Amino acid sequence: MKIYAFEEAGGPARESTVATPRPSGHEVLLRLTHSGVCHSDVHIRDNLTLPFPVVAGHEMAGEVVAVGEDVTTTKPGDVRLVFPWLGCGTCQDCRAGNDDRCPDQRPLGVTAYGGYAEMVHIPHERYLLDSTGIDTGWAATLACSGLTAYAAVSKALRGDPDDEIVVLGTGGVGLMAVAVLRALGHRRVTAVDVNAERLAMARELGAADTVDSSAEGALEALCRVTGGGAVGVIDFVNNGTTARLAFDALRRDGKLVQVGLFGGELTLPTALMPVKRLTLQGSYVGTLTELREVVELARSGRLPRTPLITRPLTAEGVNASLDDLAKGAVPGRIVLTA
């Protein structure tokens, strides 16, 4: 089968051919028809610590072509969505569907071959979800942007649909978070970004207010539209500048959920944490159960489809897409198609 692999840190994806895996036991072989492109793949491409070659891509959907002798939940010809955030597969957390807690992480597209390939080997049938009724290209993006947004939103919400929730950063995942919030019935969503086009898209998806964080007085504007501060801020950028803005925009009993991987530093005023009873929590992707919930939300019709840009699943398609993401030139989500 063809793969499009990074052979050194910072280098381009190159096409090569490897032996096609033969599934046994509970394993499944999937022919990929759609592979989403995530900004974290830019970090993976440029990472000096990963063992190369790396076949990235963790938003995957396609057709089952072969199954092991013990597989009972799917068969050749079925169209399936892949949950890529795998642990060891055998510990108590993994068996319970909480692979994200496993200390031995083995995510597809990071430490194991992922979606920038003709096929992908799935180590157990439980990591495949039936996405019938959902456009397959959009379904692929649910495995990361959908799941990451849903898990982060779940941490920020407290139950009142009029609580002030801020989505900081309206790239593909941030826009999905706005859509998820509205799909769950939340009414007070403020989107924050430096890009006017993306803020307009956030409004189309249901954001009640928007704030340009590059403008002078951004914090004051954010506090004004949230009526004095937010109950929850979800930071999908998470560099030093956005983390400071997010923290300062919290009201008493507020929670900052940090999601983005841009990196930076945040110096916390330790006395203010107990005085304002603030919570700081990280959120990284989500669980298999949460992905099932996202799929059901999409199937219900309440979750609006976010904008998709389609390109061919080739080395050229991978490289052009990651270069555009690195430049911040992608309004929406790229999906590579076979």
As a whole-number percent, the residues of the chain with pLDDT over 90 amount to 87
Rg (CA), the chain: 20
In this structure, are residues 83 and 124 in contact, taking their beta carbons and an 8 Å threshold?
no
Does residue 314 have a pLDDT over 90? Answer: yes
As a whole-number percent, the residues of the chain with pLDDT over 70 amount to 100
Residue linked to tokens 């995510």: 107
Cα separation, 149 vs 169, in Å, equals 12
The predicted pLDDT at position 211 comes to 98
Does residue 306 have a pLDDT over 80? Answer: no
Q: Taking the alpha carbons of 293, 178, 257, 264 in that order, is the dihedral positive or negative? A: positive
SS (H, E, C) 176-234: HHHHHHHHCCCCCEEEEECCHHHHHHHHHCCCCEEEECCCCCHHHHHHHHCCCCEEEEE
Close Cβ partners of 95 (under 8 Å, ≥ 6 residues apart): none
Question: In the chain, what is the greatest distance between 2 CA atoms, to the nearest angstrom?
Answer: 63
Strand partners, 323: none
In this structure, are residues 83 and 128 in contact, taking their beta carbons and an 8 Å threshold?
yes
In this prediction the pTM is 0.93
In this structure, are residues 287 and 98 in contact, taking their beta carbons and an 8 Å threshold?
yes
Indicate the DSSP class of residue 142. I
Instruction: Identify the top-confidence range among 38-47, 156-165, 321-330.
Output: 156-165
Tokens standing for residue 193: 């970004």
